[in-house]
Structures are given as structure tokens and as C-alpha cells.
Amino acid sequence: MAQLTDDELVELLLVRADLASPPPGGVSVLAQRAMSAGSINRAGDDLDLLHAAIIEVLLDATGGAHGTRARRAITEAAVRTALTGRAEPAEINAHLASLRNRALLWRDEAGLHIAGHTAAALPWRTRHIVTEPGLRSPGQWRELLDGLDTPARDVLTALATGPSVGLTKDAGPDADPTRPVPRLLAMGLLARVDPQLVEIEPAVAQMVRGEPPIELGDLRPPPLPAATPASALGGSGGLTATAAGAALEFIRETGDVVTSLGRVPAPELSSGGIGIRELRRIAKGVTLPASRVGLIVELCGHLHLIDVGFPEPEPARYDGEHVWAPTIAADAWTHQPRARQWAALATAWLSLDRRAWLIGDRDREGGVVGARGPTADQVAPRERRLVLTALDEAGAGVAPTVDDLVSRLLWLRPRLRRRLTRQAVTHTLREATEVGLVAHGALTDVGRLILADPTDDELTAAMDRALPAPVDHFLAQADLTLMVPGPMTAELAADVALLADLESAGAASVYRVTEDSVRRALDAGRTGAELNALLAAHSKTPVPQGLTYLVDDVARRHGTLRVGVATSFVRCDDPATMTAVLRSKAAENLALRPLAPTVLVSPAPLRDVLDALRAAGFAPAAEDSSGTLVDVRATGVRVATRHRPAGPRRTAHLPSPGIVSIEQLESVVARMRSADAAADQARTARGKGVRASGGGESVTALITLAMRTGRRLRVDYVDSHGTASRHVVKVALLRAGRMIATEVPSGDEVQLSVHRITSVELLD
């Protein structure tokens, strides 16, 4: 590793993120960390099937085993020979270079070498590719499985559905050959790990579970043929238009779910999250499948559009416990442009640390999986990106079958074979289609862009181009419906939602005008004349006479009764109407009493008076103290956000909690070089330089001398966290108990507190 260039070390830290955190104190520390079993095991998560095959060849040829050092080297030509016919030589060379770049093997004059723990990078416990069973085809495996008796099949089923490695007394060479395990070992359906452990063959496990088998005989990437001709999908433009329509529908449904939770918040489960019963209630209210509501709730929680807390104001029948309800951020999100809403939902789905499609299923303990539970799944975002990446590799407009896609994914990440199942891939494609990244089983241009980790502005601009232009008109029809031929402008959408009820959603939506919907608009302060003007201004067809009559009739009757706050009062210019109100059953329930022939008062709240009078057949309107109509519609409850708002999107291929940019990795490498230089200087200058320790006057004197003469100092330092480090520096300034210096050879500026310096040595 000391012979690697700085750029090569940065590349290593990119592909093996764990090596950079915490920053290693020199290249030797980095090398030791890179050869540890834990780090090699993590590196194995990103290896494909050909990588695993090469590692098996190296282990087999060099005599290496788990935890032991390889006894000999192997040439690259020998690796290519061992995999002849199963992979292309150019691909083998590229994968060998990839393993070298990941520091999983190294090369010298003798050949290729591996570390003692390299077996930890394999996706299984023993070798399955370089053995004779690894060359079998799925047909040969199927023939062996069909001839098994019940006890042997039960053993395979237990290993296929549970842990793939099992403990048994029959794995040794002296076991009874008539028992199931020895027979399965002899047939190659099981592999022996040690005299007490056996492992099921990966392809056999896939077939027992009913999944497409992993192909070990052919190590080339499985093809991704199109299940449907690209021309039949409408080309790139057709896919984009379809995805944009799906995204618009998903955005509308997200708003409906948020509004539903604002009206009736969902109580928090004792274990955290939202229960399946509440999800079904929401689904019934918004007329959506529960699975779709579960996905929307997960995304809203991820974006902090909903959160758990105490509701404000308190809803009816509130028991004082935490509930899930919208946050103030939901109000801001509702008023954002459609493209920005789409970008937020799509990026949230790609980074969501939960598998929303499991909602409603049973977990390992037998409980029903709810939404926004306390347990996160850190692998879920990686799975989604893998599925979309495989679709991207299939080509523009190519929609492969699910089985072909699963086969490619098993080749890409054999370690995830238990997770990348047919069911998981099917649901991932469904969710990607719902959020508008996939259409007709093919990746769209927007989906391809989001994989490249664009900036927020780039993604929003692309989505804005994909979305159809908003319309500012509708078609008023004789059956009292408004047909809208596309997404509406924000202003028109608010007016239409106030005047009419959504009857059919989609690329072209249909709204129905009813007596109740017209009354809703009048309650919000609109007049009959304003509603008729709205219809006339935005309808591309003549406004039907029946629609005008409906608006005029409701407007004529609306507001003849006025309800105010007294606690509540009712006034009307017509004494006969007031007499009818007093004779109704509502008068008794509301405790109405007359103050004058045209004025009644009630101790009931304003909202209750309005609802009771409407239920009795009257058409009251709410007014304020000046007599102006007021909108008393419920706005829904809100909760305060407990969590930090979602931050900027992280680039998925950059490492780790502490390292987030190439510049930081370059700084880590520079510090390693400085530490190595300091160690070299310490070895060469030992006994030749002037040394002081303890942070006293002698240390300060040496620092001052080095600053005046321009000589270098080797400094041992302990920071406030107790971390020790060594630096070779040229002192620039000594002031207020701090030494400002330049690192050698990186040239970085450092500031060190003098009282934390444990020793200094003046170098030549």
C-alpha cells in the first residue's frame, strides 16, 4: 500500500468506506485494517459472482483457508485457465484489477497473493463455484431434487427457508451413509463446511424456495432480453409521459392521505408506528389500496410531512396519547410546484430505509408489520438502487421479465440472494412505477437521471420537462360535471376543488358539481355570481343551463340564516323562517331561544349550530361580527416535528458517516502521508536531534528555535478526545499558547495547543 499513489489510495477509500473511519494513522495502519476479517467481510457486500469465483480459485490454488495465511502465490494466467469457458478472459482481467483496487489481493514477482481472511468476502461459508457441483445446470439440479425422498427434502427445505448452514452429527466421513445428510452430501446437494457443519448449495436453495436459480456454471452476466418490444412501449417519450401521469396521480393521493390524517390522526402503536387497522381506515377514506397508503405514509414520514406527537388543536375523542398527524412542513409541501413535489417523493423512495411492501405481513415474531415502525432496514435503499441499475443496464426502453431481472441481480450481488427474491423485485418495480421512475417495466429517462445523483435543481428541471403543461380550463358538461384535460394550474385547482368533488382521477380528471359542493364554495365566502363567472371564464364549452340553475338556486337559499358567535347566534330577516327553526328538532338540541323575532341565540359552538341546522334541512351560513361570511371548514390538526428535517440527499456511493466528499478523502490520505513521514523522520533522527517533552518551557523554546531557524519539528500530540498523533511541521507562528504550522509534506496548515504537545524533536 505504501507504493500506491495518493489517487489510488483515495479510490481504495471510496470502494471500502470503512477503512477511512476513523482516519488511519498511517499506511501501515490502513493495511492492517484492510486485511481484518470484519473489513473484508464488508467488502464482500459489493462483489459479484465472478469476483467470488476468482476468490475461490485463489483460495483453492494458494491453499488459503479462513483465518490462515496463503502458503503460495498464483499467476493471473492460472486464474484465467481455471475459469476457461465460464467467463471471458477480458472480464477476468478486469475483475482481478478490481480486487487489487479493493486491496483484497496484491501482486508481486511471484504472482497474486491474498490475505488470511479473504474467505470472509465470499457470499457463502464454503466453496461452491470451483467444485464439481458448481458446473451443474438447473436441469441437472431439478433431476436430483425430483428423486429425493421426504426426509432428504425436509433437510433441504429447512436449510433453504432458514439459515443456509446447519449443525449436524452426520457431516463426518464416518457417518451412516443411509441417513439424509450423508446422502445429500454424496449427491452434491449439500457441501461440507467442517465435520459438524453443512451448507446447502446456493442454486438448490433458490430452487427449493421457488426462485430463479443462481447460475454457477456460467459466470457471465445473465442477459436482460426485452419481454415486450420497445416500440410497443411508445419509446422514450411514451414512457416519460406514462411515468409523469403516474407521478401526478401519486402526488394527488399523497395530498389526500395527508389531509385524511389531518382530519382524523392515527394513534401511535405501543411499539411505535401506525397499525395496519389505521392504514386500512385511511385507505377506505381515500379509496386506495392499503399497500399504496402504506407506501405513501412511509414516504411522508421520511420527508417529515407527518410525524408523531401531541395534536394541535386536539381532535374529537382525543385520549391524550401521541398520534401520527401532518406537520407544518406538509402545508409548505402542498403549495410547492408539482415537479418539486415529485422530486421529493422520488428521492425519498430511493433512500427510504424501510420495505413498505412488507406492511401487513407477519414479522419473525408473528406480529403484523405496520408503517413507520421503530426498526429501520439499512439495506433497502441499496436494493432499490440495484434493481434500477439493472434496468438501466438492460438499455433504454427495455422491459425484461422479473425472472430475468432476478437472475441478473443474483449475479451482481450473490450475498443478497435471500433478499433479492421474485417477490421483492416485483414489489420494488411496482413502487418505482407508482412514484414515476419506471413505466411498463422499463426505466424512464427520469429514473436514469436520478441514478446519476443529480443536484436538486437538475432533477426538478428534468421532471418539470416531463410533466404535461398545466391547463387553465375545463369542459363543463350537461351532467353537471367538469372534465379537466390534464393537470390544472394551482389557482384553478384550488377553485375547482372548492366548487366540485373529484369523481374520476387520472391524466384527464372529472369533477362533479353538487348542491353540497356549491354550498361549500359559498361557505368559503364565494357568491353565486362569482361561481358563475368562474364557470364561464374557464369552460371551453358553453356552461349548461342546468349547472347555472343549480348554482343560482343554492346561492339564493344560502345565507338566509346567519350564524355567529354569542356563544352562537342565529339571525334572519324572515320571521317565518325563524319560526320554522324554533319548531324543528334542532332547536331543542341546540337550546335555541329567541331574543327578537329575527334573532336566536344558542350556547352550542358555531360549528355545531351550523351542522345541526343543515341536518334539519336549512341552509345557514357563518358570519363574523361585521356580518361578513367566514370560512369555518376544519383545517385539520398538526403536530410539531420531533426529528430533524430531511437534509440534502447523500451520494449513495460515497462512504460513511464521517466521510462525505472526495476532498475529505484526499485530506485523510494527506494525513496518512504526514504520519508516515513523521515516523520515518523519527527513525532517522533518533539520537541526532534535540528533544524536549512535557509541554513546559523547553518545548516552547524548541518551537521558538524552529520558527527562527526554519528547521522542521517532529511533534507528538494528544487532542481533546485523547487521540494521539504525530506530525512533522514547519512552524509559522507561536501565539496565545497555540502553534500554527505547516505539515510536511502535505502543506496543510495545522493549529496545535502547546499544552497538549507531549514531546517535540528538532530535526535537521
Q: Is 652's pLDDT higher than 50?
A: no
Model pTM? 0.77
In the predicted model, what is the mean pLDDT of residues 322-350?
Answer: 93
Q: How many angstroms separate the CA atoms of 705 and 12, rounded?
A: 40
Q: Are 245 and 238 in contact (CB under 8 A)?
A: no
Residues 520-536 pLDDT 10s:
899 888 889 999 999 99
Burial class, 118, CB count within 10 angstroms (exposed 0-12 / middle 13-18 / buried 19+): buried
Q: What are phi and psi of 716, to 5 degrees?
A: -100, 130
pLDDT top residue among 685 and 172: 172
Grid look-up 425422498 returns 149
Q: Is 67's pLDDT higher than 80?
A: no
Q: What is the CA radius of gyration of the chain?
A: 35
pLDDT top residue among 741 and 69: 741
In the predicted model, what is the mean pLDDT of residues 321-327?
Answer: 92
Output the pLDDT for position 657. 39
Q: Is 202's pLDDT higher than 60?
A: yes
In the predicted model, what is the mean pLDDT of residues 471-478?
Answer: 92
In the predicted model, what is the mean pLDDT of residues 64-80?
Answer: 72
Helices (H), ranges, 264-367: 276-286, 290-302, 328-334, 338-351
Q: How confident is the model at residue 648 (pLDDT cuts 50, 70, 90)?
A: very low
Q: 74-88, 224-238, 736-750: lowest mean pLDDT where?
A: 224-238
Q: How confident is the model at residue 651 (pLDDT cuts 50, 70, 90)?
A: very low
Output the pLDDT for position 261. 93
Q: How confident is the model at residue 653 (pLDDT cuts 50, 70, 90)?
A: very low
In the predicted model, what is the mean pLDDT of residues 431-452?
Answer: 94
For the chain, the average pLDDT equals 87
In the predicted model, what is the mean pLDDT of residues 573-587?
Answer: 88
pLDDT top residue among 583 and 344: 344
In the predicted model, what is the mean pLDDT of residues 629-650?
Answer: 60
Output the pLDDT for position 208. 95
User: Measured in whole angstroms, how far is the alpha carbon of residue 73 from the centre of its chain?
Assistant: 43
Q: Are 219 and 50 in contact (CB under 8 A)?
A: yes
| 216 DSSP 8-state letter | S
Question: 402-412 and 49-62 helices cross at what angle (nearest 10)?
Answer: 40
Output the pLDDT for position 645. 41
Output the pLDDT for position 659. 42
Q: 35-121 sits in which CATH class? A: mainly alpha
Question: What is the CB neighbour count within 10 angstroms for residue 439?
Answer: 26
In the predicted model, what is the mean pLDDT of residues 459-479?
Answer: 92
Indicate the SS3 state at residue 191: strand
Output the pLDDT for position 470. 86
Strands 197-200, 165-167: pairing kind: antiparallel
Output the pLDDT for position 270. 87
Grid cell digits, residue 90 = 477480458
Q: How many angstroms separate the CA atoms of 696 and 678, rounded?
A: 22
Burial 224-235 (b: 16+ CB within 10 A, else e): bebbeebeebbe
Q: Is 647's pLDDT higher than 70?
A: no
**Element (DSSP H or E) covering residue 534:** helix 528-538
Q: How confident is the model at residue 199 (pLDDT cuts 50, 70, 90)?
A: very high
Q: Is 725's pLDDT higher than 90?
A: no
Strands 620-622, 561-564: pairing kind: parallel
> What CATH number is given for 662-762 in this structure?
2.30.30.100
